[in-house]
Structure 1
Amino acid sequence: MSRTAQAWRDGLSCLFRSGCPQAATLLAAAITLSACGIGGFSLVKAEVDRSLLTGAVSSGTRAPSDSERVSDEATIRNAVSAADVTTLDGTALAWANADTGSRGAISNLTESRNNGALCRKFTTSRESYDGVGLYHGEVCTAGSGLWRMMNFQPAL
């Protein structure tokens, strides 16, 4: 027989013998535990705890900091400039910025010529720790294969 089982058996037999030092302790524990269950538990008797308070989260989202915005704009610019517009066929183009934790999808990508420069207009979502936003933007070639963000504004 295991030691635990033997100790349990000895404790129970001690409870019913007189002169056992553990009897008083075991009897007190049994009475205490049984007293907890006498009243029973009822959901009808349960009351709402009115001492708990909750707070509200601001519905407005904070604007990204300048460094976050510049970094996200560069990531979006690179994604738009590297995209093959002919193969997208209306499919959204995903982007993610590991530096800021932001990500989104570029859609409505159209290409045009503006004063000899190749330009691409687009709409993008921006999901980050501070919320979700929708933006309209335009990038154009600036010579030597470089692209420049011409416009990047929140959609209203």
Structure 2
Amino acid sequence: MARPAQPFAGWDRQVFRWLSARGALVLLAVVALSGCGARGFSIDDAVPDRSIVTGSISRDSAAPASDAAATSDEMTIRNAVSSALVEELSAEGIGWANAETGSRGAISAITESRDSGYLCRAFTASRESFDGVRLYRGETCLGSAKLWVMKSFVPVD
């Protein structure tokens, strides 16, 4: 009578030992890590904790940076207005850009006048920055020290 077919007939005992050792390690890892997910995940856990506040950063720190950027842009616009050739100014005006703040815009409607003997230039300027686009009216005058001074620079509502 013939011998019945045996599964894994040609395998050595070393193969079985190797597989059983690997299987034991995998089973041990699965059992050990199964406790990590036993509690489950709740959407309440995903909400950030807003009660933690550090004292090193004030909440009003963004306001001075915005004012500093506006002041820097104001000086850039003043310099562009003071160096513009009013006689050669085209209808679309002149462009300006501030590499320090990333703001840019256009200056138009520059008119010259004399105020108390000082040369002044009134203008309209647009300012495109990270906080939006705004139109301004301003006036800058050549002072006694031969420096241009911004007399007014106000947003148009």
TM range (shorter): 0.5 to 0.7
Count of paired positions: 95
Query: Identity across aligned pairs (percent)?
Result: 58
Q: Which residue of 2 aligns with 1:116?
A: 117
SS in 1 for 2:77: helix
In the alignment, the residues of structure 2 paired with residue 75 and residue 128 of structure 1 have an alpha-carbon distance, to the nearest angstrom, of 13
Q: Which string of whole-angstrom CA distances, capped at 9 and with x for unpartnered residues, describes residues 24-59 of structure 1?
A: xxxxxxxxxxxxxxxxxxxxxxxxxxxxxxxxxxxx
Q: Which has the larger radius of gyration?
A: 2
Moved more, 90-99 or 103-112: 90-99
Listed as ranges, the gaps of 5+ residues in structure 2 are: 1-61
In the alignment, the residues of structure 2 paired with residue 145 and residue 91 of structure 1 have an alpha-carbon distance, to the nearest angstrom, of 28
Q: Does 1:90 align with 2:68?
A: no
Q: Which string of whole-angstrom CA distances, capped at 9 and with x for unpartnered residues, describes residues 75-113 of structure 1?
A: 000000000001114341100000000000001110000
Aligned partner letter, 1:115: S
Q: Which residue of 1 aligns with 2:50?
A: none
In the alignment, the residues of structure 2 paired with residue 116 and residue 106 of structure 1 have an alpha-carbon distance, to the nearest angstrom, of 25
In the alignment, the residues of structure 2 paired with residue 116 and residue 65 of structure 1 have an alpha-carbon distance, to the nearest angstrom, of 35
Q: Which residue of 2 aligns with 1:155?
A: 156
Q: Which residue of 1 aligns with 2:39?
A: none
Q: Which residue of 1 aligns with 2:80?
A: 79
Q: Which residue of 2 aligns with 1:106?
A: 107
Correspondence list, 1:1-156, <5 A: 65-156=66-157
Aligned partner letter, 1:112: S
In the alignment, the residues of structure 2 paired with residue 110 and residue 104 of structure 1 have an alpha-carbon distance, to the nearest angstrom, of 18
SS in 2 for 1:122: strand
Q: Which string of whole-angstrom CA distances, capped at 9 and with x for unpartnered residues, describes residues 98-141 of structure 1?
A: 00000000011100000000000000000011110000000000
Aligned partner letter, 1:152: F
After TM superposition, the runs of 4+ consecutive aligned structure 1 residues lying more than 4 A away are none
In the alignment, the residues of structure 2 paired with residue 107 and residue 132 of structure 1 have an alpha-carbon distance, to the nearest angstrom, of 16
Q: TM-score, normalised by structure 2?
A: 0.57
In the alignment, the residues of structure 2 paired with residue 99 and residue 76 of structure 1 have an alpha-carbon distance, to the nearest angstrom, of 13
CA RMSD of aligned residues (A): 1.7
Please state how far the C-alpha of 1:66 moved relative to its aligned partner: 1.3
Listed as ranges, the gaps of 5+ residues in structure 1 are: 1-61
